[in-house]
Amino acid sequence: MGSTAAVEVQCLTKTFPGTRALDNLSLSVERGEIHAIVGQNGSGKSTLIKILAGYHAPDPTGKVWVGGTEIVNDRAAKAHELGLRFVHQGLGLIDELDVVDNFGLISGFIRKRTRRLDWKRQVDHVSSQLSRFGIQVDVMRPVKELNAVQRTAVAITRALEGLGPGSGALVLDEPTVALTKLEVEQLFTIIHEVQRSGVSVLYVSHYLDEIFDIANRVTVLKGGKLVGTSKIESITHRDLVHLMVGRNVNPIIKSSKKDKGAPLLSVEHLTGAELKGIDFTVHSGEVVGIAGLQGSGIAECPYLLIGASTSKELSLTLDGRVMQKINPPLMARNGIHLVPGDRKSQGAISEFNVRENMTLGDLAPFRRHGHLCTKTEKELVEYWIGELDLVPPDPEHDYLTLSGGNQQKVIVAKWLAVNPKVLILDEPTNGVDVGAREKIYSVIRDQASRGLAFIICSSDAGELAELCDRILVLNDGKIISELIGEQVNEINIVDQLHAVNEQNTH
């Protein structure tokens, strides 16, 4: 059973413990086309790319063809040979090395007959490859001196090394995240040139407006399945959003009138590497969501708020008082805490057990004449183990061997145990199973009804729709919209997240 497509996958499934990242996916990228893949976080986009790149092996039922040849077993090397090339997120360049060295890392160096590196020919070769795409740079300078689109061009040119004429497929994974609008246009010129030379392109992006500018066809993934493929002329922005979100969305009726508590925390001029100065206020008992995709500033937002990274112009007003300094211990003393997104390295201490992790937020209540009373600790820990239904319900259990969901429960409990005023959560259910997710949501709702305020920073639209009373949507470092009450639903969130942003400048 052959294949005429540039890249084709058939019945591709990938099961991880507890979840199915890809479910019987079949897709083909035709020769010479630019084929876009869109989908929310968790839709299976990155798993698909990782399987094509050989990082994961698919379940035995799946098949992959590149240029008509089926790939089995030794995927990565074979696929590369057959012409499947990648520019991954982050580009994979080494900033300190120059352009020529970065090329050499992947494609090897041109050598003279004496095995010595032939610098002149290598430099000429790299320079000429780059000028094909209209990029004129000094290839002996370190990559970090290039601008974003030049770096992307280097990564693309490097990836295409050694491709025969009129063959091959290039996978571009979120290539425009760090680019200005002008640079995006330059990149599209390069991509069209790539297409003209006969290379097919698989283009993964969450910027829907760009898809309409660059792609010939688009495929939408949801929950690991393919929910639609279409020629770009035959589909609209709204259609894509609906496909991404799905038809069977439980409409959660949110009352537009919710009695807002007193204003608790006022944030002004929150700026960072990506955030361009945002303002908002959180009220007691309110669950505020901040939605954003990669590049919008969502990743740095919670850390700037807590003072883990410094935001120069940030001004925080808590209970009417302006805070003079912003750093984690000070915020903690004022009742503002962060549940970090990176559970493994920042959320908890792997070498501690459940009890030691859960009480780390505040050890003062357990001190009796200088002595740390383990018995009192256990009482508190057992209370929260019950509230969050931790499995297994053992305070002395290792933290590390708990499932992801239970680990997250421990971290959430740690912060609820200190009676905070405001709890900031960064991607709270990343890698958490459905059961744990529901439990954490119910505890959040319960605590909110008792006056605790939550700020949930997430790229998961469904989660935000379910939890939040109000959602601020970040796009390119600014809040582009606020959804309240009935407006809070997954469709609106996804629509706003992927919206066109006129300002797109850096």
Partner 1 sequence: MNKQRLSFNNIGAVYVWLLIIIFFWWLEPGTFGSSDTLRVVLNDGAITGLVALSLVVPLAAGVFDLSIGGTIGVTSMVTAKLLADTSINPAAAIFAALFVALAIGLVNAIVVVICKIDPFIGTLATSSLLGALVLIVSDNKSVASPRLLGGFARISRMKIWGITAPVLYLFVVALVLWFLLEHTATGRRIYAIGFNRETARLSGVNVDRIRFYSLITSAFIAGIAGVVLTSRISVGSPTIGPPFLLPAFAAVFVGATQIRGGRFNVLGTLIAVYLIGTGNTGLSLSGQPLWAPQVFVGLILISAIGLTGLKRRSI
User: What are the residues binding partner 1 (CB under 8 A)?
Assistant: 306, 308, 328-329, 332-333, 337-338, 340, 345-352, 356, 359-364, 366-367, 370-372, 414
The amino acid at residue 154 is V
Q: Compare residues 167 and 350 and give the one whose CB is closer to partner 1.
A: 350
> What is the closest distance, in whole angstroms, from the C-beta atom of residue 419 to partner 1 in the complex?
13
φ/ψ of residue 2, rounded to 5? -90, -175
269: left (phi over 0), alpha (psi -120 to 50) or beta: left
> What is the closest distance, in whole angstroms, from the C-beta atom of residue 60 to partner 1 in the complex?
34
Interatomic CA distance for residues 323 and 492, integer angstroms: 34
Radius of gyration of the CA atoms of the chain, in A: 25
> What is the closest distance, in whole angstroms, from the C-beta atom of residue 348 to partner 1 in the complex?
6
- The two structure tokens encoding residue 296: 């919008």
Q: Compare residues 10 and 376 and give the one whose CB is closer to partner 1.
A: 376
SS3 112: coil
> What is the closest distance, in whole angstroms, from the C-beta atom of residue 463 to partner 1 in the complex?
22
> What is the closest distance, in whole angstroms, from the C-beta atom of residue 367 to partner 1 in the complex?
5
| Neighbouring-strand partners of residue 271 | 276
φ/ψ of residue 9, rounded to 5? -125, 150
- The two structure tokens encoding residue 96: 């300190």
Interatomic CA distance for residues 257 and 137, integer angstroms: 58
Interatomic CA distance for residues 202 and 187, integer angstroms: 14
Interatomic CA distance for residues 245 and 253, integer angstroms: 17
> What is the closest distance, in whole angstroms, from the C-beta atom of residue 361 to partner 1 in the complex?
6
HSE of 65, CA atoms in CB hemisphere, 13 A: 18
Pair 93, 148: CB distance under 8 Å: no
Q: Compare residues 190 and 380 and give the one whose CB is closer to partner 1.
A: 380
Q: Compare residues 21 and 417 and give the one whose CB is closer to partner 1.
A: 417
> What is the closest distance, in whole angstroms, from the C-beta atom of residue 340 to partner 1 in the complex?
6
Q: Compare residues 15 and 309 and give the one whose CB is closer to partner 1.
A: 309
Q: Compare residues 300 and 495 and give the one whose CB is closer to partner 1.
A: 300
- The two structure tokens encoding residue 473: 């949507």
Interatomic CA distance for residues 304 and 228, integer angstroms: 39
Q: Compare residues 93 and 336 and give the one whose CB is closer to partner 1.
A: 336
Q: Compare residues 273 and 373 and give the one whose CB is closer to partner 1.
A: 373
Q: Compare residues 60 and 370 and give the one whose CB is closer to partner 1.
A: 370
> What is the closest distance, in whole angstroms, from the C-beta atom of residue 411 to partner 1 in the complex?
10
Interatomic CA distance for residues 271 and 300, integer angstroms: 9
The amino acid at residue 412 is V
Q: Cβ of 367: how many Cβ atoms within 10 Å? A: 11
Interatomic CA distance for residues 207 and 187, integer angstroms: 14
Q: Cβ of 442: how many Cβ atoms within 10 Å? A: 13
Q: Compare residues 284 and 359 and give the one whose CB is closer to partner 1.
A: 359
- The two structure tokens encoding residue 288: 């505020």
Q: Compare residues 417 and 491 and give the one whose CB is closer to partner 1.
A: 417
Query: How does DSSP assign 308-345, residue by residue?
Result: SS--TT-EEEETTEE-S---HHHHHHTTEEEE-S-III
Interatomic CA distance for residues 89 and 479, integer angstroms: 24
